[in-house]
Copies of this chain bind each other. A is one copy, B any other.
Amino acid sequence: MPQVRGARLEAAVLSATLAELADTGYAAFTMEGAARRAGVHKTTVYRRWADRETLISAALVANVAVSVPTPDTGSFEGDLRALASDLVAWLTSPVGGAVVRVMLTEAGRLPGVAAVKHALYEDRFARAGVVVGRAVERGEVGSSVSAPAVLRALVAPFYLRMLVTGEPLDEGVVEAAVAVVVCAVRAGVL
């Protein structure tokens, strides 16, 4: 068993941390468990990350999806579908699911995590603004449509299923959400 060190070790520990979080949850997470899973000694973990919260924050921050391209399918409905599909794919992926779940529950109290959350939302709302703006230019929707309201209405059902009811997420849910948003926008209630 060759001793691993440096960047490979760091990546192994962060990955083990995420796996451990997914398995046991935030409350039952232990530094020793993560170290053991990474095949590394506890002291080594503490040399790179000050404490439990710092390690967990780092693992989450390293795994949030960064800038993906803003969809441009040529139609408002197509763009909404693309946005929704991307989010559902992320939420249903093993890593994404674990990251979001932990980030939105106990770890949301950690300042580093809160900052990343905020930046992520800024990005998402900006993206929705671009999509809505193009739809307005095309004359598909009125100029009074609120982009944040559209985004909230679009994603709310996914988080409800994931965090509250525990119901599964599939393409049918995406279609339903898109249909509701399109209908609400046409009726002028968003």
Contacts and interface: CB of A to CB of B under 8 A. Distances in A.
30 contacts: A25-B106, A26-B106, A27-B106, A104-B105, A104-B163, A104-B164, A106-B106, A149-B176, A152-B157, A152-B160, A152-B161, A153-B157, A153-B180, A155-B160, A156-B157, A156-B159, A156-B160, A159-B159, A159-B163, A159-B164, A160-B160, A163-B164, A179-B189, A180-B184, A180-B189, A183-B184, A183-B187, A183-B189, A184-B184, A187-B187
Interface string A169-190: 0000000100110011001011
Interface residues of A, number: 28
A143 B189 CA distance: 24
A118 B153 CA distance: 25
Q: State the main secondary structure of chain A at its contact with B.
A: helix
Given A27-B106, A104-B164, A159-B159, 16 more contacts: A25-B106, A26-B106, A105-B106, A106-B106, A152-B157, A152-B160, A152-B161, A156-B156, A159-B163, A163-B164, A180-B184, A180-B189, A180-B190, A183-B184, A183-B187, A183-B189
A160 B163 CA distance: 9
A105 B107 CA distance: 10
